[in-house]
Amino acid sequence: MRFKLILFFTLGYVLCSCESSNKKMRVSLDSYKIEEGFELEVIAAEPLLKAPVAIDFDGKGRIWVAQMPGYMNDIHGSGEEDPTGSILILEDLDKDGVADHSKIFMDNLVMPRALAHVYGGLLYAEPPYLWFVEIEDDQPVNKILVDSVYAVEGNPEHQPNGLELNIDNWIYNAKSNFRYRRTNGVWKKEPTTFRGQWGITHDNFGRLYYNDNSRILLGDYVLPNTVINNKYFTPKSSVDKLLTTDQRVYPVHTAAVNRGYAKGVLNADSILVNATAACSPLVYRGGAFTESYDQNVFISIPEGNLVKRALLNFTGDSVIAKQAWQNKEFLTSSDEGFRPVSLKNGPEGSMYIVDMHRGIIGHQAYMSPYLREKVKEDRLDTLVNFGRILKVNHVDAMADIIPDFDNLNGTELISLLSNKNGWIRDRAQHYLIFKGLTQTIDAVKDVALNSKNKLSQIHALYVLEGWDALSFDFLVEVMNTDNLEAIAHALVLSQHFVSEENIEKAVSVFNSILKKNKLGLDVYLGGSIGSWIALNEDKFTPIMLEILKRRKLNSTITEAVVSGLTGVDTLISSNKAIMDTLKHTEFVNKLVRSISDKKQGNLNSIYTRKKIKEDNRTSGSKMFFQICASCHGSDGKGIEGLAPPLMNSEHVKNTARLALILLHGLEGPVHVNGEEYNMNLAMPGLIRNESISDKDIADIISYVTNAFSDVPKTLRKVHINKLRSIKSASGMEFTEEELKALDK
């Protein structure tokens, strides 16, 4: 095991110029332990950067960093709306593999959270907007608003992010049900499956993976948007799937976690048991690790100061994950500042780790009293203005030369479609498309049909798709190759060519695929067949029926077929022979349900949701600081002479009583934890403020019970509305005795 334990390097921190400050920094990795055979090195650290949350690489392999120094600067999250964020470029001027210079590309941003080098420019998210800018001499020009409601202004833990350019030429996001692409200079946005919370990644086939706080890995069994063609059908068995039930993590020390007081969160040694803040999975596609690491998934566990490794098993109709080890992790540290929040495949095949290196990574709206005390006790709130980019290499890997994509010609880019590094292949595909190098179309077609590298065939297929240069005849040629994954993609793409003139060719090639009796092909053949049935029921229904008969118990195939039957669902359901043959199967149940939902107008929610709404605790937090904190204190401990404490107050733990106090007010004396508070001021109720809704009261309750008690609670709006009519004896503020009497 080799480490670059202490790394000395010259760091240039540039605000408005390109001059290096020549400051030196010492970064120790003594507390970090990585799997044998790998080495960990620091590529960049403060003062070059601070609070990095996302990176991407440009055509020269330089690292571009989105920085969020406004996130949780203190325990109250102050300064969150200040324009302190930026996007910077890290450079390695002396070519020693370590960044020695940085320069600001854009600054004065509010909480930028994602970026992607696409179409020769930079796509980046600054809530609530998604922007695209062209780049000239490392400067932004021609700024374009791609989406004005990309992310609602609110909690940064619950805003879309990711901007993952997939093999299908679409850009996908976590915590979002939209995808994006640019065609002929025009940006497109369309619905897709809602996925995850922070971070998103894809495998070599083009399936997507994501996660959320307590589930280390979620994913889709199928290619994106292949089971949502029927707007009245909501797939449950093939997308947004939990890929492993094992959520165990193995930290090497007792790190502070949000609800460490709750039973089962910590073990007898006060060490975290299961993930509580998992994020940013990465399918490793770099080709520089050993073969056993190909398409493994690495997962960030920032609350445990570690990076986890999981193995994937592809069955054809599903993906199954399992942890690589028990009682062991790929990378661990006892440095509580180590906060891996994003992972990336690198241009030379390495894995890059974005370490926000911050004491507090949980948003204040969700922090429990337990964690607030731990933060103060361990002085984690003082750990700010740091940030690291780490790189993981295999000790036996040879350093590859990173191509300068901006200066490659079409032939050179085509050759890179077969590169062992998925980052290189993806970038070559994208450059061929957006540069419009269609003069190489014959060479690209040859790769799609004849390459011995099966992955390059898929990339070439989507180069042609990006050029709008596909035809049904060519897709039939692809379907007649022996590359099963390319055939699956060709089936998906063939849905754009459903026509009378292609019926006979489709029948012939579909029957040929049917005879292969391959599970993975039946998924996409079944999903494609519905639109052909609409043209010729007699020729294509038998193909569908054969798939369903031999896969009666297969939920993924069932959902693919039902999804593809939009427009002919009632035709199929009225066919007595089909319905009798498949009687009591999942197919019949789901088909009938989708038809019923269509009649009632019940759309799949991805077609009705226009944006992600702000969560209730964040909304409640904002209102608390606007209305309540001036008297009760931002920490809920009360202010002498103004208001009693809320922290662990019996009046907070009783949500109905808390709602009555918020609505109607409270006059003293009042007791909290046995101590009397007899203040001259009465707390006024909010009922007379017509702008305060039942939802607002519910949101404040959600935040207050979370922040100032050990048991977060909610109260339904309908209950709050009923409490509006309950009055005190005076018709004004309640007394403590009156509230207690109502409890009885």
Domain of 269, CATH number, reads 2.120.10.30
Residues 349 and 431 occupy one common structural domain: no
Residues 314 and 421 occupy one common structural domain: no
CA angle 142, 116, 203 (to 5 degrees): 150
- Say whether pTM exceeds 0.75: yes
Residue 18, pLDDT score: 40
Minimum mean pLDDT range among 182-186, 205-209, 278-282, 686-690: 686-690
The label of the residue with tokens 């005390």 reads: 373
Q: Which of 338, 404, 403, 334 is nearest to 42 (CA)?
A: 338
Peptide bond into 340 cis (omega under 30): no
What is the spatial distance between Cα 475 and Cα 509, in angstroms, rounded to a whole number?
Answer: 10
Residues 81 and 123 occupy one common structural domain: yes
Peptide bond into 542 cis (omega under 30): no
- E strands, 184-266, in order: 186-195, 201-202, 208-212, 215-219, 241-242
Residues 582 and 680 occupy one common structural domain: no
User: Is residue 522 in some structural domain?
Assistant: yes
Residue 289, pLDDT score: 96
Residues 665 and 566 occupy one common structural domain: no
- Sheet strand arrangement including 171-174: 161-165, 171-174, 176-183, 186-195
Residue 9, pLDDT score: 34
Residues 246 and 348 occupy one common structural domain: yes
Residues 576 and 442 occupy one common structural domain: no
User: Is residue 398 in some structural domain?
Assistant: no
List the end-to-end C-alpha distance of the chain, in Å, as a whole number.
66
Core vs surface per residue 675-689: b (16+ CB within 10 A) or e: eebebeeebebbbee
User: Is residue 600 in some structural domain?
Assistant: no
Task: Out of 464, 481, 498, pick the residue that ends a domain.
Answer: 464
Given a cut of 60, whether residue 15 has pLDDT beyond it is no
What is the spatial distance between Cα 154 and Cα 110, in angstroms, rounded to a whole number?
Answer: 12
Phi–psi pair at 599, nearest 5 degrees: -60, -35
What is the spatial distance between Cα 71 and Cα 358, in angstroms, rounded to a whole number?
Answer: 9
Given a cut of 50, whether residue 743 has pLDDT beyond it is yes
Structure tokens at 161: 């992010």
Condensed to tens digits (0 to 9), the pLDDT of residues 574-592 reads 999 999 999 989 999 999 9
Core vs surface per residue 245-271: b (16+ CB within 10 A) or e: eebebbbbbbbbbbbbeeeebbeeeeb
Given a cut of 50, whether residue 425 has pLDDT beyond it is yes
Residues 553 and 424 occupy one common structural domain: no
What is the spatial distance between Cα 448 and Cα 455, in angstroms, rounded to a whole number?
Answer: 9
Tell me how crowded residue 297 is: count the other CB atoms within 10 A of its CB: 26
Residue 659, pLDDT score: 85
Residues 6 or more apart whose CB falls under 8 angstroms from that of 691 comprise none
Length of the chain: 744
What is the spatial distance between Cα 326 and Cα 151, in angstroms, rounded to a whole number?
Answer: 38
User: From residue 516, how far is each of 399, 454, 511, 522, 544 by CA, in Å?
Assistant: 42, 18, 9, 9, 15
| Number of H-type helices and E-type strands within the chain | 21, 33
User: Is residue 606 in some structural domain?
Assistant: no
User: Is residue 373 in some structural domain?
Assistant: yes
Condensed to tens digits (0 to 9), the pLDDT of residues 535-565 reads 999 999 999 999 999 999 999 999 999 999 9
**Higher pLDDT residue, 97 or 192?**
192
Structure tokens at 38: 């790998």
Task: Work out the pLDDT band at 194, boundaries 50, 70, 90.
Answer: very high
Condensed to tens digits (0 to 9), the pLDDT of residues 725-735 reads 888 888 888 88
User: Is residue 185 in some structural domain?
Assistant: yes
Residues 383 and 407 occupy one common structural domain: no
Domain count, the chain: 4
Residue 459, pLDDT score: 98
The label of the residue with tokens 């191509």 reads: 403
Q: Which one-letter DSSP state was computed for residue 626?
A: I
Task: Out of 422, 439, 464, pick the residue that ends a domain.
Answer: 464
Residue 242, pLDDT score: 97
Given a cut of 90, whether residue 290 has pLDDT beyond it is yes
Minimum mean pLDDT range among 77-91, 155-169, 688-702: 688-702
What is the spatial distance between Cα 57 and Cα 99, in angstroms, rounded to a whole number?
Answer: 13
Structure tokens at 431: 């450059």
Residue 25, pLDDT score: 52
Question: Average pLDDT over the chain, rounded to whole?
Answer: 90
Strand bridging mode 241-242 / 139-147 = unpaired
Task: Work out the pLDDT band at 663, boundaries 50, 70, 90.
Answer: confident
Given a cut of 60, whether residue 7 has pLDDT beyond it is no
| DSSP 3-state of 8 | strand
Residue 5, pLDDT score: 35
Residues 305 and 448 occupy one common structural domain: no
User: From residue 101, how far is each of 11, 60, 97, 282, 340 by CA, in Å?
Assistant: 6, 15, 12, 27, 22
Residue 326, pLDDT score: 96
Residues 260 and 306 occupy one common structural domain: yes
Per-range mean pLDDT, top range of 6-15, 148-157, 323-332, 615-624: 323-332
Residue 153, pLDDT score: 64
CATH for 700: 1.10.760.10
CA angle 148, 153, 156 (to 5 degrees): 120
User: Is residue 635 in some structural domain?
Assistant: yes
Q: Which of 142, 133, 149, 158 is nearest to 64 (CA)?
A: 133
User: Is residue 452 in some structural domain?
Assistant: yes
What range does the domain containing 262 cover? 6-393
Task: Out of 464, 496, 513, pick the residue that ends a domain.
Answer: 464
- E strands, 148-175, in order: 161-165, 171-174
Helix (H) / strand (E) element for 54: namely strand 52-57
Q: Are 91 and 85 in contact (CB under 8 A)?
A: no
What is the spatial distance between Cα 568 and Cα 590, in angstroms, rounded to a whole number?
Answer: 14
The label of the residue with tokens 């495998």 reads: 203
Residues 158 and 65 occupy one common structural domain: yes
Q: Are 509 and 490 in contact (CB under 8 A)?
A: no
| DSSP 3-state of 32 | strand
Residue 680, pLDDT score: 65
Residue 172, pLDDT score: 98
